[in-house]
Structure 1
């Protein structure tokens, strides 16, 4: 009786053993468009799609691919005969030695093509059910710009997103989503919110991917944000700067605080208000950046005031 030799996974996908991760992914997408049961007219589409999924599941995973390559190079150490316990144990030992002898850099950075952030068509985690591989949908990413006050008080925001995805034919398309998201107080600039199951749909009944929303607070003429720290530009008068007077500063959260300026304060000087920045864990600081503004002299009295000022500081030379 002739034993049927299993088809080589590389042959199934139509790639060579030297194929790159990107080439393997492209080959899978091409075959998925051809044999996906929902769109294919081939009589054996379901069986072929299952075959393609199994091949891709092996070759897209660094560890599985390495073990599979070892088995191809060492056919005498096959696991196929379950009764040969001694042979199987020896195979495991031989493969472990084979892996240990490889340079680790050969596989560094070889992440699951469709796993973690920015996964692709076919998803990252997969499961098998009734002979068909289930693939987790692609995780998606979006960015939203918020008013700085939201960082202090939190808010519920409703917004629309255009999510890149693939249709049943494997063709790229854009899906529009309208979401209502609760934004908690204390989110730092650049921090992400994870929405479970709001990413790309899974394949063959696999779970949906997740949606990661990155929060940003755009700079204005008054404020800019760096992580949890907030920088506020504050205009002050020459006499407030010289005399070190008290000023009232409006905070991004709508409240205000009284600040005592140091005497002879300078333009560009920063004053730190501890824990008055974004209330994250730990809280950021609020930095006041001072800017001395000279008033315009419009009356004779104001001109005389500048003249008196010049006479009082006749030795001062700003250049």
Structure 2
């Protein structure tokens, strides 16, 4: 195998399912093309998706471990270019309205269906395609959407390139555009199942299913973990010091009033219970306070700072 999925996720082979999931989420936050500044973000995200898709499924992981332990049996397909196919072509998808989707079923299809195209089992299937049918493999994709969709729901179009077999049992790429209805209340990481939209069946077999994992766009000011939403809230020094009441806009577009605690600090968190994603078990909205210091550009502003400095003459911020 040309890639080691364990190395891609930075974990050991004895990592638990929870450790695999945590490693994936950490790397996805770093390399997701919508937010990452890394030069190789798209390629790394594709690699991470394939690794997680394989290692998070017990059966896929079992077969992958077997392939790692018996590399001599998979050398023919190990370079990912057998039969003229370059696996990188299957991972470039575009979602409607600027949304982003990542197909992560290539390793599953070429690693499990017939033990790879061109392998002995594949040749056996070609010779016996009139006698035996196979269900198509399930496929997986990621769809990244705006956080407000968690509150209101939406319908999105996504275009995927899915590797499949034609009627002659030969590999080819099927391009399809699907309309996905995203209900309100989906947690980050939850999946939508589209029955029969996965890989086509072989020799009359039923088609597999397509599982779409919903992710939310993440920025330095707003991100989602499960059903919880974290939002940076900028406040002025006097609002922080005096504990004033302010109005702000929540991720679902509503305006709320909030009482800032007296002598609030940058980095301090305030929890608004059940104001996160409205799931069956509602998430919370965590406001992370950020005290913004206004500039002193005019004489009036500079005079105000001088007056402030005199009022706090005994204050030394460098004292431990």
Measure how far apart 1:166 and its partner are: 2.8
Distance 1:201-1:22 versus aligned 2 partners, 3 A rule: closer
Q: Which residues in structure 2 correspond to 1:4-83 (within 5 Å)?
A: 25=115, 26-33=119-126, 35-36=127-128, 46=130, 50=131
Alpha-carbon separation, structure 1, partners of 2:112 and 2:155: 40
Maintained 8 Å contact 2:222/2:229 = yes
Alpha-carbon separation, structure 1, partners of 2:176 and 2:245: 50
Alpha-carbon separation, structure 2, partners of 1:253 and 1:172: 45
Q: Helix, strand or coil for the counterpart of 1:29?
A: helix
Instruction: Name structure 1 gaps, 5 residues minimum.
Output: 1-18, 38-45, 51-132
Distance 1:22-1:183 versus aligned 2 partners, 3 A rule: closer
Spell out, residue by residue over 1:137-168, the C-alpha distance to the aligned partner (whole angstroms, 9 max, x if none).
11011111101110110011112112222334
Partner of residue 300, structure 1: 299
Maintained 8 Å contact 2:114/2:125 = no
Partner of residue 192, structure 2: 193
Distance 1:280-1:211 versus aligned 2 partners, 3 A rule: same
Maintained 8 Å contact 2:165/2:200 = no
Partner of residue 134, structure 1: 133
Moved over 4 A (4+): 19-24
Spell out, residue by residue over 1:150-195, the C-alpha distance to the aligned partner (whole angstroms, 9 max, x if none).
0110011112112222334444332211111111001111110000
Alpha-carbon separation, structure 1, partners of 2:229 and 2:196: 33
For the pair 1:159 / 2:252, whether they are aligned, the reply is no
Q: Helix, strand or coil for the counterpart of 2:184?
A: coil
Spell out, residue by residue over 1:247-283, the C-alpha distance to the aligned partner (whole angstroms, 9 max, x if none).
1121111112111000000000000000110111201
Task: Give TM-score, length-normalised by structure 1.
Answer: 0.61
Alpha-carbon separation, structure 2, partners of 1:279 and 1:255: 14
Partner of residue 249, structure 1: 248
Partner of residue 173, structure 2: 174
Alpha-carbon separation, structure 1, partners of 2:224 and 2:264: 23
Distance 1:316-1:166 versus aligned 2 partners, 3 A rule: farther
Alpha-carbon separation, structure 1, partners of 2:231 and 2:220: 9
Number of aligned pairs? Answer: 207
Alpha-carbon separation, structure 1, partners of 2:300 and 2:307: 10
Task: Give TM-score, length-normalised by structure 2.
Answer: 0.61
Distance 1:205-1:307 versus aligned 2 partners, 3 A rule: same
Distance 1:23-1:234 versus aligned 2 partners, 3 A rule: closer
Instruction: Name structure 2 gaps, 5 residues minimum.
Output: 1-72, 75-110
Alpha-carbon separation, structure 2, partners of 1:170 and 1:205: 12
Partner of residue 314, structure 1: 313
Distance 1:237-1:23 versus aligned 2 partners, 3 A rule: closer
